[in-house]
Structure 1
Amino acid sequence: MKVSLAIPEKTGNKKYAAALLAALASLSASAEQAELTVYTALEANDLKKYADRFNEDHPDIKINWVRDSTGIITAKLLAEKENPRADVIWGLAGTSLLVLSDQGMLQPYAPVGVEKLAKGFRDANDPPAWTGMDAWVAALCVNRYEMEKNGLPVPKSWKDLLDPVYKGHVIMPNPASSGTGYLDVSSWLQLFGEDEGWKYMDGLHANISRYTHSGSKPCKLAATGETAIGVSYAYRAAKLKNQGAPLDVVVPEEGVGWELEASAIVKGTHNLDAAKKLMDWSVSLRANELYNEGYAVVALPGVAKPVAHFPPEVTERMIENDFSWAAANRARILEQWSSRYDAKSEAE
Structure 2
Amino acid sequence: MKTITKMKSLGWALAISATCSAQAASELTVYTAFEAEDLKRYAAEFNKQNPDIKINWVRDSTGIVTAKLLAEKDNPQADAVWGLAATSLLVLKAEDMLQPYRPKGLEKLSPKFYDKDETPSWVGMDAWMASICFNTIEAEKHNLPKPTSWADLTKPVYQGHVIMPNPSSSGTGFLDVSSWLQMFGEDQGWAYMDKLHNNISRYTHSGSKPCKLAASGETAIGISFAFRGAKLKNKGAPLELIFPSEGIGWDMEAAAIIKGAKNTVAAKKLMDFAVSEEANRAYNKGFAVVAIPGLAQPVKHFPENPESLMIDNDFEWAAKNRAAILKEWQGRYDSKSEPKK
With normalisation by structure 1, the TM-score equals: 0.91
Say which is worse superposed, 298-307 or 169-178, in terms of deviation. Answer: 298-307
Larger Rg: 1
Look up the match of 1:294. 286
- Aligned equivalents of 2:233, 2:112: Cα separation in 1: 29
Look up the match of 1:78. 70
Cα deviation, 1:204-252, whole Å, max 9, x if unaligned, reads: 0010011111111111111111110000112221222122111111111
Percent identity between matched residues is: 66
Are 1:104 and 2:103 matched, yes or no?
no
Following superposition, the deviation at residue 85 of structure 1 comes to: 1.0
Partner residue of 1:321 out of 284, 308, 313: 313
Are 1:60 and 2:52 matched, yes or no?
yes
State how 1:220-239 maps to structure 2 within 5 Å: 220-239=212-231
State how 1:180-195 maps to structure 2 within 5 Å: 180-195=172-187
* Unaligned residue ranges in structure 2 (runs of 5+): 6-11
Following superposition, the deviation at residue 285 of structure 1 comes to: 1.1
Look up the match of 2:118. 126
Look up the match of 2:202. 210
Structure 2 residue matching 1:311: 3-state secondary structure = coil
Work out whether residues 109 and 291 of structure 2, in 8 Å CA contact, stay in contact via their aligned partners in 1.
Answer: yes
Look up the match of 2:269. 277
Cα deviation, 1:238-295, whole Å, max 9, x if unaligned, reads: 2221221111111110111110000000011121111111111111111111111221
- Aligned equivalents of 2:148, 2:305: Cα separation in 1: 13
Work out whether residues 251 and 314 of structure 1, in 8 Å CA contact, stay in contact via their aligned partners in 2.
Answer: no
Look up the match of 1:10. none
- Aligned equivalents of 2:129, 2:16: Cα separation in 1: 46
Look up the match of 2:33. 41
RMSD: 1.9
- Aligned equivalents of 2:304, 2:176: Cα separation in 1: 20
* Unaligned residue ranges in structure 1 (runs of 5+): 6-20
Name the count of aligned residue pairs: 330
Look up the match of 1:136. 128
Look up the match of 1:31. 21
- Aligned equivalents of 1:303, 1:27: Cα separation in 2: 45
Partner residue of 1:95 out of 84, 87, 90: 87
- Aligned equivalents of 1:109, 1:315: Cα separation in 2: 28
Look up the match of 1:335. 327
Look up the match of 1:255. 247
- Aligned equivalents of 2:238, 2:278: Cα separation in 1: 33
- Aligned equivalents of 2:131, 2:200: Cα separation in 1: 16
Following superposition, the deviation at residue 51 of structure 1 comes to: 1.5
Q: Give the residue type in structure 2 aligned to 1:142.
A: F
Cα deviation, 1:154-191, whole Å, max 9, x if unaligned, reads: 00110111111101100000000000000000000011
